[in-house]
Structure 1
Amino acid sequence: MDYNLERFRSAQQNYYQTALQEIKAGQKRSHWMWFIFPQIAGLGYSETARYYAIRDMDEAKAYMEDDMLGQNLVEISEALLETESSDAQEVMGWPDNLKLKSSMTLFALAKPECEVFQKVLDKFFHGEPDQKTVEILHDSSAIVYEQKVIGKRKDSSAMSNTVKIRNLILGEGIPKICVPVMGKERRKIACSARNAMEQGPDMIEWRVDYLDNIEDTENICDILRELRSCLGDTPLLATFRTKQEGGEKEISPEAYAHMYHVILKSNLADAIDAELYFDSETVSALIETAHRYGKKVILSSHDFQKTPPREELVNRLEKMQELGGDIAKVAVMPQSSADVLMLLAATEEARRKLQIPVITMSMGATGAVSRMLGEISGSALTFGMAGQASAPGQIPVEDLRGILQKIHFYSTK
């Protein structure tokens, strides 16, 4: 079978020596990971990651049998064994440390007699393989898995537009209620969470962008531990809403990635919110990292000025699925009641087209009705307030729950 290994050869002719020298110097500095240490299909979500993905075990074996590619991979892997540091993140950076683990797992399985790949796993990862890679290879087809995960879902009969977060299932029955908690410092956040839990929410969202010092990762972990203790089994969504999408602060892609990596690595939050129109490379890496940690990703888009046309709304939601989001969310500002109806129509269309749950809302007083009609339109989650609102038009939890229950009762009689 023709696996088009030429795509790797062409890239390596230009970049392999640079990559090798960087590893020998002890630290990766430029962009070459995809075609030097390729991964199995189904892990990366960017266009480049998909292009250089190894489709199955047979292609991995063909890669190793290629004189140039196999020799280069062995040589640069041996160079990794010579580095002083045994910290993969220090040598490769994030998230390439995760990609290294998956690549070494793939080729250790594809060619077990070549011991260097297992030795890299031993040095940097305590000998542990990448479980996601193992799971994909044990599937009947890596390509089927890729379609299932990435969003090019052909067989809708085999899919379900529900997602389980902890013990909560989004996408069926009455829309679930999420309550945001906010605060500039730990005590205020804990107090806000306790008040929210008294309302019996289905999910809590911690708005990290309200925190005074997001560079203090130790404080972030302390807050997460306190929230986890307070919430019990209630799912926790961590969200940094950027200023350009209605949040409290601006943030660099590097700080955004680092903050979310700390949150995911803590294993204390169940899901993160990543913005569709934030730095694309950062968002793709976060989706991949979240899935490696077994966490869900809400991909979101917010427009506080207007409501885009119906076609654009549906396209945004579809794009979120294609990029690997587990849940697609859009929030817009209506200029008229017609805008609210357009959002509801776009939501209903997206529910039929997508295989992941959608969350939509029309903000402000004009759009408040959209927060109540999710069971009819197809929005899986709505946001209610228990104290301070995080967006215009949010309804108190107790009122919202009563309305949702009445709509459910009369629409299912």
Structure 2
Amino acid sequence: MRRRTATVRGIELGRARPEVIVPLVGADEEDLLAQAEAAGGTRARILEWRLDRFRPDLEDVGEHREAVLAALPALRGQLGPDRALLATFRTAAEGGARPIADRDLGSLLEALITGRRAGTQSAVDLIDIETSRDERVVARVIAAAHRHGTVVVGSFHDMDTTPPESELVEILRSQRLLGADVPKIAVTPRSPRDVLTLLSASLTAAEDLSGPHIAISMGPLGASSRVAAETFGSAATFASVGEGSAPGQLRAEDVAGMLELLRP
């Protein structure tokens, strides 16, 4: 049986070489577009806009949402037609830059999905939703994404530890049952054996053949998980151009090269 995939702008997640995803963490539109231009010089085909890092001067959630929507057309134009845009608001509890209420998170993501003020319905290709948020908000965002042809990344982060393998596998499976097209887990290792736990969980999930997922062991100790993605079934890995968005991220071109060297 062939493993299912998820496709955005001709990029097939879950097939062949894992994709390199580069985060964009600019604090304003000028920095954001400059980072997108720099990322365009790499082999990364998916760029992640970290919404929580954008416009930290705007504390009001409504003003922040409007600023995000206003910046979206220029960003989409900078990326061009062949690169996909993943929109992510990583909350403070998940290692992000700012807190946000569940309802406000849902409103922001739905506005991005529907393309309001974006000038195009296909401005955002993938959306990230933390599956531990309010289940009604998660369900609403996933439903809106699927109505508009947007791929859903359902994410889970543990910034302190690495849960047991059985728990990690269950998280990935439960995220898919919720409707996530690409379940994602990112955990923090305290020992080399924790990295092995993450990699084994990733391989077990891949053997389900139910679709692509992303599995990352964070920090310097987990760096090997970022370049061994294909061997252990992860469909993508995150790497930086300039400032990264998570501990342990490597340079995008280094990761792209190592993925090729380590192809099984």
Give the structure-1-normalised TM-score: 0.60
The residue that corresponds to 1:357 in the other structure is 212
Runs of 4+ with >2 A deviation: 212-219
Q: Deviations over 1:231-283 (max 9, x none)?
A: 11200000000111110111011211111111011121001000010111100
The 5-angstrom pairing of residues 316-355 of structure 1 reads 316-355=171-210
Counterpart code for 1:219: A
Query: Which of 251, 274, 278 is equivalent to 2:100?
Result: 251
**Alignment pair present for 1:311 and 2:166:** yes
**Alignment pair present for 1:374 and 2:229:** yes
SS of the equivalent of 2:200 reads: helix
Q: What root-mean-square deviation, in Å, do the aligned CA atoms of Structure 1 and Structure 2 show?
A: 1.2
The 5-angstrom pairing of residues 218-257 of structure 1 reads 218-232=66-80, 233-257=82-106
Equivalent-residue separation in structure 1 for 2:99 and 2:248 (angstroms): 24
Q: Which has the higher helix share?
A: 1
SS of the equivalent of 1:395 reads: coil
Counterpart code for 2:213: V
The residue that corresponds to 2:41 in the other structure is 198
CA contact (8 A) 2:17 2:259 kept: yes
The residue that corresponds to 1:177 in the other structure is 20
The 5-angstrom pairing of residues 18-29 of structure 1 reads none
- Tell me which structure has the larger Cα radius of gyration: 1
CA contact (8 A) 2:129 2:152 kept: yes
Q: Displacement, 1:221?
A: 2.1
Query: Which of 191, 210, 220 is equivalent to 2:53?
Result: 210
Equivalent-residue separation in structure 2 for 1:391 and 1:229 (angstroms): 26
Equivalent-residue separation in structure 2 for 1:254 and 1:162 (angstroms): 30
Equivalent-residue separation in structure 2 for 1:288 and 1:250 (angstroms): 24
Q: Displacement, 1:227?
A: 1.1
Name the structure, 1 or 2, with higher relative contact order (CA <8 Å, separation 6+): 2
**Alignment pair present for 1:282 and 2:131:** no
**Alignment pair present for 1:387 and 2:242:** yes
CA contact (8 A) 2:3 2:209 kept: no
The residue that corresponds to 1:189 in the other structure is 32
Q: Deviations over 1:68-106 (max 9, x none)?
A: xxxxxxxxxxxxxxxxxxxxxxxxxxxxxxxxxxxxxxx
Q: Displacement, 1:200?
A: 3.0
CA contact (8 A) 1:321 1:354 kept: no
The residue that corresponds to 2:118 in the other structure is none
Equivalent-residue separation in structure 1 for 2:182 and 2:48 (angstroms): 15
CA contact (8 A) 2:43 2:256 kept: no
Q: Displacement, 1:356?
A: 1.6
SS of the equivalent of 2:174 reads: helix
SS of the equivalent of 1:353 reads: coil
Counterpart code for 2:27: K
Equivalent-residue separation in structure 1 for 2:182 and 2:128 (angstroms): 9
Identity of aligned residues (%): 38
SS of the equivalent of 1:215 reads: helix
Equivalent-residue separation in structure 1 for 2:200 and 2:43 (angstroms): 30
Equivalent-residue separation in structure 2 for 1:182 and 1:192 (angstroms): 8
Equivalent-residue separation in structure 2 for 1:211 and 1:174 (angstroms): 30
CA contact (8 A) 1:318 1:354 kept: no
Counterpart code for 2:66: E
CA contact (8 A) 1:314 1:349 kept: yes
Q: How many pairs are equivalent?
A: 252
Equivalent-residue separation in structure 2 for 1:194 and 1:305 (angstroms): 34
Equivalent-residue separation in structure 2 for 1:162 and 1:321 (angstroms): 13
Q: Displacement, 1:289?
A: 0.5
Q: Which has the higher strand share?
A: 2
Q: What 5-or-longer segments of structure 1 have no aligned partner? A: 1-156
Equivalent-residue separation in structure 2 for 1:249 and 1:335 (angstroms): 25
The 5-angstrom pairing of residues 13-52 of structure 1 reads none
SS of the equivalent of 2:239 reads: strand
Counterpart code for 1:176: E
Counterpart code for 1:370: S
